[in-house]
Amino acid sequence: MKKILLTNKYSGTPEKIVESEVPAGFETVFLSEQTQSALLDEAADADYILAGGRLKITKEVLDRAVKLRMIQRSGVGLDALDLDSIRERGIPLYVNQGVNAESVAEHALLLILACLRRLPTICADTKNGIWKKQEQGVKTSELMGKTVGIIGMGNAARTLVGLLRPFHVKILYSDLFRAPAAFEAENGITYTDTDQLLSDSDIVSIHCALTEETRGLINAQSIRRMKNGAILVNTARGEIVEPEALAEALASGRLSYAALDVHAKEPIPEDYPLKSIDNVILTPHIAGVTADSFRAMMRDAFRNIECFENGELDVIAPYRYL
């Protein structure tokens, strides 16, 4: 029986969903603890690795995984994978692009609206008996008519563009690769460079991959380029934003609000500078995880592994990354 090693540790309902999607003839192996050392210990017996985004698939892991036939990514980010080492060994890597794009896009829109309406602050005030309708209301803003800047135009960002259209916003975007002219025209979006996007946008939503070029992209210097009172939303990767610089900008009022689903260190540490800031929303890297998207991720991932095992490469070829 072929063994599938899962690098994420699941319990409760997520574990039941995972187990319900495992195809016949396969055995799933869960790590004893979610650490890099546990991954090294278990890698030797794995025929397949279902890779989450937290633990790293390093050269050392690949050296131990002598039976490994294929790596399947459960999500879509690639920053936890040593792509050079995977390529050198000729190990196929499959990624189900766009599998949670709807979930991420909806969460990004939720965070944008929650920031504009200062939802956590208003909720706390109401619970504490503060009822000043006009005084509280005029501190909030509508999304309609705003300029939204999107950094990165992948699947989730393109889905967000569609969700934003009914709000009649102006959308700017930056990316290494420009979207097709037809997509730009259909959605009324404008391609620009990141510096111009930062200076012209009322709301900046981050959707780019984590690379050496994007690591620390949002720092003290880039924040100074942003509009006074702008909003920052990040549902991409935590290391793209420098939390100390963001905390200073929020505390000073340079930025009015921010919302982060991803963080430089996860889980967030006790000394995380954004924990004590009122005008920031923090969620636990949950944008891509709903009951719907999680089941779809597991179903599609296991289906790819089963197809690979059965030699049905033509079925899953569109999902091959390496």
The verdict on 225 and 197 lying in the same domain is yes
The verdict on 74 and 111 lying in the same domain is no
3-state secondary structure at position 285: coil
Q: Which residues are catalytic?
A: 237, 266, 285
The verdict on 248 and 295 lying in the same domain is no
The verdict on 147 and 36 lying in the same domain is no
Q: How confident is the model at residue 319 (pLDDT cuts 50, 70, 90)?
A: confident
**32 pLDDT higher than 90:** no
The verdict on 149 and 217 lying in the same domain is yes
The verdict on 91 and 164 lying in the same domain is no
The verdict on 310 and 200 lying in the same domain is no
pTM over 0.85: yes
**Two structure tokens written together for 219:** 């720092």
pLDDT at site 318: 78
- Rounded CA gap, 177 and 19, in Å? 39
The verdict on 226 and 82 lying in the same domain is no
- Rounded CA gap, 32 and 29, in Å? 9
**Two structure tokens written together for 130:** 């503060």
- Rounded CA gap, 164 and 17, in Å? 32
pLDDT at site 255: 98
User: Cα angle vertex 27, ends 21, 32, to 5°?
Assistant: 100
Q: How confident is the model at residue 67 (pLDDT cuts 50, 70, 90)?
A: very high
pLDDT at site 322: 81
Q: Which of 285, 242, 299 is nearest to 111 (CA)?
A: 285
Mean pLDDT of 22-33: 94
**Two structure tokens written together for 303:** 């289906």
The verdict on 136 and 263 lying in the same domain is yes
pLDDT at site 40: 96
- Rounded CA gap, 209 and 221, in Å? 20
Q: How confident is the model at residue 211 (pLDDT cuts 50, 70, 90)?
A: very high
**317 pLDDT higher than 80:** no
pLDDT at site 316: 77
Mean pLDDT of 167-194: 98
**214 pLDDT higher than 90:** yes
Mean pLDDT of 100-117: 98
**Two structure tokens written together for 150:** 């999107």
**Two structure tokens written together for 96:** 């189900």
The verdict on 154 and 108 lying in the same domain is yes
Residue numbers of the domain that contains 94:
2-99+290-319
> For 261-290, how does the pLDDT look when each residue is reduced to its tens digit (9 = 90+)?
999 999 999 999 999 999 999 999 999 999
- Rounded CA gap, 208 and 278, in Å? 26
**295 pLDDT higher than 90:** yes
The verdict on 11 and 136 lying in the same domain is no
Q: Report the number of distinct structural domains present in the chain.
A: 2
Taking the alpha carbons at both ends of the chain, their separation in whole angstroms is 25
Instruction: Compare 33 and 105 and report the one with higher pLDDT.
Output: 105
Q: How confident is the model at residue 311 (pLDDT cuts 50, 70, 90)?
A: very high
The verdict on 231 and 136 lying in the same domain is yes
Q: How confident is the model at residue 43 (pLDDT cuts 50, 70, 90)?
A: very high
> For 71-108, how does the pLDDT look when each residue is reduced to its tens digit (9 = 90+)?
999 999 899 999 999 999 999 999 999 999 999 999 99
pLDDT at site 9: 87
pLDDT at site 145: 97
The residues that bridge with 281 in the sheet, in sequence order, are 259
Percent of the chain with pLDDT over 70: 100
What's the CATH code of the domain at 86? Answer: 3.40.50.720
Averaged confidence pLDDT in the chain:
96
